[in-house]
Amino acid sequence: STSKNGPINVKLLMLGHGSVGKSSLLLRFTDQQWLPELEGTATIGVDTWSHKLDVKGRRVNLTVWDTPGVERFRALTSSYYRGTQGILLVYDITDRESYGALAWWFAERSKHVPESTVKIIIGNKVDKEHARQVPTAEAAAYAARMGCLFVEASAKTAIGVRVAFRDVVEQIVETPELWA
């Protein structure tokens, strides 16, 4: 619980297929950088990142859990989800299979967190527009049907990255029952 004016502790969980750029998005958000050597590497286990930010006049202590998307780690234990207020579901706009997998991640999420959890779908890699397989309008309509925020982003160029994280955190801050 959080005092009326003290910092708000927020936990976000990143979900999505392997190689969609979850770690790169997170690195871009927290450290303002993009490391080409991260492309195509698999996260083993769960990495956690902490970040402080001010949102709507409140200090937020943000912890983001970056989960592996590779097959053998698919079934995350319920402990990963515990205390999560926001979920970032990431797909690669150049990989229709990663977009199709969102339905699986939604089903998985619904087993572990309440419906009130703030959700955003992030279409990553918009810097590769020439190879796009998932139209923006299609993904935006899906996000609306699923009751999610939606943004397209590029960890490489930083487009949309801060917006994605900030939108989720703002909605959490505006929903005291998620953190009070």
**Tens of pLDDT along 27-53?**
888 876 545 544 445 444 567 888 888
d(CA 92, CA 70): 14
DSSP-derived pairing of the beta strands 47-55 and 58-66: antiparallel
pTM over 0.75: yes
- Do 159 and 127 meet the contact criterion of CB atoms below 8 Å apart? yes
Q: Which domains does the chain have, with CATH numbers?
A: 8-178 (3.40.50.300)
Question: Diameter of the chain by CA atoms?
Answer: 49
The closest alpha carbon to 35, from 159, 156, 160, belongs to 156
d(CA 86, CA 84): 6
- Do 20 and 91 meet the contact criterion of CB atoms below 8 Å apart? yes
Mean pLDDT along residues 11-33: 85
Both tokens of residue 95?
A: 């990989």
**Tens of pLDDT along 60-73?**
999 998 877 655 55
Strands (E), 43-147: 47-55, 58-66, 86-92, 118-124
Rg (CA), the chain: 15
